[in-house]
Amino acid sequence: MSVGLIILITIASAIGALILFMIIRTVLTKPVKVEKRSFEPVPVDKDRVAQKLSDAVRIPTLTVLDDTMSYDEFPKYHAFLEKAFPLLHKAAEKTLINNYSLVYKIEGSDASLLPGCFLAHQDVVPAPAEGWEVPPFSGEIKDGYVYGRGSQDMKGQMIALLEGIEILLEQGFKPARTIYCCFGHDEEFTGKEGAKNIAKYLQENNIRFEYVIDEGGTVLDGSIIGVDGMLALIGTCEKGYLDIELKAKKNGGHSSSPYKRNAVDLMAEAVYYVAMTPMKSSWSLPVKQMFKAIAPNMKPLMKFIFVNRDILSPLLKFVLAIANPITNSLIRTTFAATQAKGAGAPNVLPPKASATINCRINVNENSDMVIKHVKEVVGKNIEVNVLPGMAEPTPVSDITSAAYSVLTTTINEVFENFLPAPYPFIAATDAKYYYGVCNNVYRFTPFLVSEDDRTRIHAINERTDIDGLVKATQFFARFIENSCK
């Protein structure tokens, strides 16, 4: 037998052994059985909670972006909350932070327990009336939905939380664990005036939490990644945020006699190079944890691939990168060109041009790495500036904590056949400011949202399903029962 044949047989045997190992590994990975836990949900008056959300939407608490806007609607919203949730306001100590952010504290009976904390934000993004089926701040109730800006993001979650607490108080519930509700007023504009100051107040008063729950996790149909049933994704961290301004300078002039590569050309090239030169993909801790949690319940081929992620890593990362924008964003820092500026008139060659690149920083990277990458890509002729509002990726919260266990248990009680799994939240929330007062910071939105309704967030015809609002109310009430009794 020739040496070459021996080598060939050896290689084939090794490959065969590896494939056999991968098959056995897949077979031995048993599906996670999602058991429906029985419990008695609190009775929710469907019409009452829908009307409360409708009334909340009617108060246009727009994020104040500049001096042309006003905070006048926020005191009106506070007055609405007092009227809508009288027992909560009777039981809670209310503190106003930086004039418009709210902190409610319901004292628990056991001082040895760290408090629990629930976040929401009062502000909403602007909503031009064009294209809406109903006026964006009408709060109209029709076809089983509450329509209007903020109905999803995120007054729906706030109303569900407060209604859940109100119902528990109506039943005479007295928490053992102290409960905090912290509601910022500028989450849609970085949270630096609201949540950041709330966190500062908490730190100054030596207040620490057992857990913090904010918006951000999502409920989705698992079939899109080969899982039977629904996935309840819990954000255990969030990606960083960075806005970079690119500037190009070149002699200006009249557009009737253009020269090659003016400032706009240089800027267009720079934006293109950034878009076409992504940073390397990588497996961050929360992504590894997510795939470990859901791989056992995937269909056979997908299960084989994800159970053997470590072996098939290059192929899998390639597939995730091209599959869709969401899976791509899970494994790398993303760059999105969002603004551009050149001349003030169409017949002028501008002496300078600029563009803004919005960067969402992967959990295992940082802003310095991103800035260095961009500078290398665009070259020395492009000026690179960092705009205000930067936030590094947050720490990753523990999925073995008692708080995470209570969260997943509550999901299994309230929702049928939902598989909980951790994941890195790809956007930004107020929760990022709370790591100084809590180690267990989680993001979960207990609403089953259709793909159609998902596209309405920050867009026209935003709405919330009333049945989903009822379910979310029961979720918060049950989570409080489970974690604060």
CA distance 282 to 129: 42
- Residue of 123, 193, 215, 481 marked catalytic: 123
Longest CA span, the chain: 90
Report the sign of the C-alpha dihedral through residues 215, 211, 118, 70, in that order: negative
Indicate the pairing of strand 116-121 with strand 179-184: parallel
Q: Which is nearest to 115 in space by CA: 179, 197, 175, 60?
A: 179
pLDDT on residue 410: 96
Q: Which domains does the chain have, with CATH numbers?
A: 46-222+394-484 (3.40.630.10), 239-386 (3.30.70.360)
Angle at the Cα of 475 from the Cα atoms of 472 and 478, rounded to 5 degrees: 150
Indicate the pairing of strand 418-425 with strand 230-238: parallel
Long-range contact pairs involving 28-33 (C-beta distance under 8 Å, separation at least 24)? 29/295, 29/296, 29/303, 29/307, 30/296, 31/296, 31/297, 32/293, 32/296, 32/297, 32/419
pLDDT on residue 1: 62
* Cis, peptide link before residue 276, omega less than 30° from 0: no
pLDDT on residue 240: 96
- Residue of 73, 163, 187, 453 marked catalytic: 187
CA distance 468 to 479: 16
Active site residue 187: yes
- Do residues 443 and 135 make contact, with C-beta atoms less than 8 angstroms apart? no
Active site residue 204: no
Which residues of the chain, if any, have pLDDT below 50? Answer: none
Length of the chain: 485
Strand boundaries in 14-100, DSSP class E: 93-97
